[in-house]
Amino acid sequence: MPELITMPKLGFDMAEGTLVRWVKKEGESIAKGDVLAEIETDKATVEVEAAAGGVIAAQFVGEGSVVPIGKLIAAIAAPGEAVDVNALRAQTGSSAPPSTSVATPAKKEIPPALVAPAPMTAPAPAAVSVPTDGKGREVFASPIARKMAGDAGVDIRLVSGTGPGGRIVKRDVEAYLKSGGARAAAPALPVAVSREDIEVPLTRLRQIIGRRMSESQLAAPHFYVTVEVDMAPAMALRGQLNALLPEDEKISVNDFIVKAAALALRQFPNLNASVAGDKLIRRGRINVGLAVAVEGGLITPVVQDADLKSLAQIAVAARALVGRAREGRIKPTDVEGGTFTVSNLGMFDVEDFIAIINPPEVAILAVGSVKQVPIVKDGVLAAGTRMKATISADHRATDGAEAARYLQTVRKFLEEPLRLLL
């Protein structure tokens, strides 16, 4: 019996997804774990892997098609296995093979978590140009690989890909540069700069950002509470721990924040929840999403069971998630099940900001940079290490007093960081 592949449900509120690209075509052989297709949701573009090896007997939707969750999209058969493709096609409601589809393949972009205001920079117009190899075939590369190659003046077509389906990823460009690969000729400088207005059509990414941000703010009555945290104890403990840890396990400031936010949520279940109609659904697990900047927007991979993980385990999980997100190798499981989100713009020297709630969650924590600032302590002017944290919360689920108590709890964990190790 053939292995039937359906549109996966990649989030609590996901109803449909867009099939961006078939990585493997009908009639091709495929091994278990190979990337079959790329699917785009409101949260991310993810790769769908084959659950079994064999031959792709049929593909039931075309590239660019919007497909409801659970609908059949492909069938994988064992070599030589007879498959009644027409009967399967009838189940999908499709009377023609996907090769007849006239849908335009979507550009691979990773839609953002809903954070304002910084992430709203539009992608460069040049991104619409897709390089091809010498035979006219599209060169598939992750966004960070394209950017790295462009910054280094390297023709992306000269780099060999080792990622899924032969995709060029960050490590391929790094290896090419280390090997002394030839750089592309520098482009000629423009002789004049146009001062005419330019009309740029909104990309799918921009449209998704606008729609989701509008939906979130219209559906969820936002309110905001800010506190200042003394980060000196956490920074001191971080230095001591990192002195004992190998390079690939070192703990970041954000790891401390994720752990503190997760532990505090145990005491405030109304903030680890979602709203469904006239009901508040308190989530049994505490899964913290990380707002990660990628080319063209943000993506929110999820640290599962963050309250149960040690700081070192959070560091390892976060590093892997961020790496895959930035290389365009995010997995469906990486973006599933988020119950709360942390957005950190501290690396951009941002002092504080407010974030828009990432539905269907009911709260998001926005943190700024850790700064040396003048403080008054016991009547004496001194230098302090401070960070501002702002929670955006949904008034249907909670109120200002509860949000304030939550932030006080987060602050207590960070100002007495040994509690994070218990």
H-assigned helices in 196-252: 204-219, 232-242
**Residue 178, H or E segment:** helix 170-178
Compute the C-alpha angle 164/115/66, nearest 5°: 50
Q: Extract the tokens encoding 162.
A: 């080792």
β-sheet bridge partners, residue 280: 275
Q: Point out the catalytic residue in the list 171, 211, 285, 395.
A: 395
Strand residue runs (E) in 296-399: 297-299, 302-303, 340-344, 363-367, 371-377, 380-394
How many alpha carbons lie under 13 Å from residue 242 in its C-beta half-sphere?
15
The answer to whether 299 and 10 are in contact (CB under 8 A) is no
- Burial letters 326-340, b for 16+ CB under 10 A, else e: bbbbbbbebbbebbb
How many alpha carbons lie under 13 Å from residue 148 in its C-beta half-sphere?
19
Closest CA relative to residue 234, chosen from 111, 414, 408 = 414
Closest CA relative to residue 314, chosen from 258, 364, 370 = 258
**DSSP calls for 312-334:** HHHHHHHHHHHHHHHTT---GGG
The answer to whether 201 and 182 are in contact (CB under 8 A) is no
Helix (H, G, I), strand (E, B) or coil at 271: helix
Residue entry with tokens 């390089």: 131
Distance spanning both ends of the chain, measured CA to CA: 51
For residue 374, count other CB atoms closer than 10 A to its CB. Answer: 9
CA 338 to chain centre: 11
Tell me, yes or no, if 395 is annotated catalytic: yes
Query: Which amino acid, 364?
Result: I
Residues annotated as part of the active site: 395
